[in-house]
Amino acid sequence: MDRRPGVARLVPRLESVVGRLLGRDADVTPPRPRRSNPDAVVDCAVYVNGRREPGRPHYADAYARARHGRNSFAWLGLHEPDAAVMAAVGRTFGLDELTVEQALADGHRPTVQRHGQVTLLVLRTASYVEHAELTATSEVVDTGDVMVFLGDRFVVTVRHGASGALAPVREDIQSRPALLAEGPWAVAYAVAARMVDLYLEVAAHLEHDLERVEESVFARERDADIQHIYQLKRELVEFKRAVLPLHGPLRGLVEQRTDGPPPGLRRWFADVEARLTRAVDRVAAYDDLLNSILQSRLTQLAVEQNNDMRKIAAWAAIAATQTAVAGVYGMNFAHMPELTWKYGYPAALLLMASAAVTLYRLFRRSGWL
């Protein structure tokens, strides 16, 4: 009796049982491969009740977890993303086309804008560039910008430029869970506070540069070049454009009662505004001082040029007396005073020398020589 057909019928059943044991049943969906964040992503995390959840998930997974959790939000940090990455981020977090285009460009003016359910906070970054001495091409201040997109359950930070790294901001705010529990606006406060602290640091370094320039301008032996002062003026203007325009938007956030920071964070934003006011006052004072130094140096150059012209005029007057005497006795007329005198030639030379010495002493006494 041939039993092979029965065995053949048992093989599929055995394969089905083994497949179930190994998790390969047709009704069981194999796990999807874990998605990785693009290179532009500096960090991504989910925060629940002010504390970071373990891991660094893909930003889409992080936002999905934040939307389904209580007292949670996702924070995505980007550095100079390209158009493809920013478009994907915009689709995930519901950013409109105009907002995505703004995130791709740099050089924005500090502002606060409302795009539907998303608030955009733009800040300028600044850092001091160390240099041995100030030259006509020295880079003193390096600036960039950071854009903070705030939603109900997310915050996306987009940074352009080398300055203003946000890693210290994330470390600091994660050590303060009570503050971070306020939600995405707590991140906006931490970023704004970090930028203002950088402004004050840069202002302190610029003060030392101004002191050195002032000393060189008013020193006895002046070595200050007008191009060096003008270069520092240009760098200060760049720093001024980063600091001054932020005062209005921060004041608006402090005074805003709706669609702004929660009540528990307004006093923190007020503290940032107070420190920003100090930075604004310093920058304005430095600008006025540098204008005064520049005008003083220009005045010194004008005085030095006037002194040079007086010296040239004095020597020209001394030479003119010699030319006059020589010109008169070079006319070769038949009847001239002392023309046939034995000592006429030495007397003419003595007259020329006496006139030169007399004029030299007069110009020296008057300060022209």
Specify the pLDDT at position 14: 45
Type of residue found at 72: S
Highest mean pLDDT out of 102-111, 231-240, 269-278 = 269-278
Nearest-angstrom CA–CA distance, 117 and 50:
22
Specify the pLDDT at position 47: 96
Using only C-alpha atoms, what is the Rg of the chain?
39
Specify the pLDDT at position 36: 66
What percentage of the chain reaches a pLDDT higher than 90?
45
CA distances (Å), origin 325, targets 316, 336, 352: 15, 13, 7
pTM: 0.75
Tens-digit pLDDT profile for residues 107-150: 889 999 988 889 999 999 999 998 888 887 888 999 999 999 99
3-state secondary structure of 35: coil
- Binning pLDDT at 50, 70 and 90, where does residue 269 land? very high
Tens-digit pLDDT profile for residues 197-253: 999 999 999 999 888 888 888 776 766 677 888 888 889 999 999 999 999 999 988
Spell out the residues 6+ positions from residue 165 whose beta carbon is closer than 8 angstroms to its own. 159
What is the pLDDT averaged over residues 149-177?
93
Could you write out the DSSP letters of every residue in 46-66? Answer: EEETTEEPSS---HHHHHHHH
Nearest alpha carbon to residue 328 among 352, 298, 363: 352
What is the token pair recorded at 246?
């932020």
Specify the pLDDT at position 6: 46
pLDDT at 190 over 90: yes
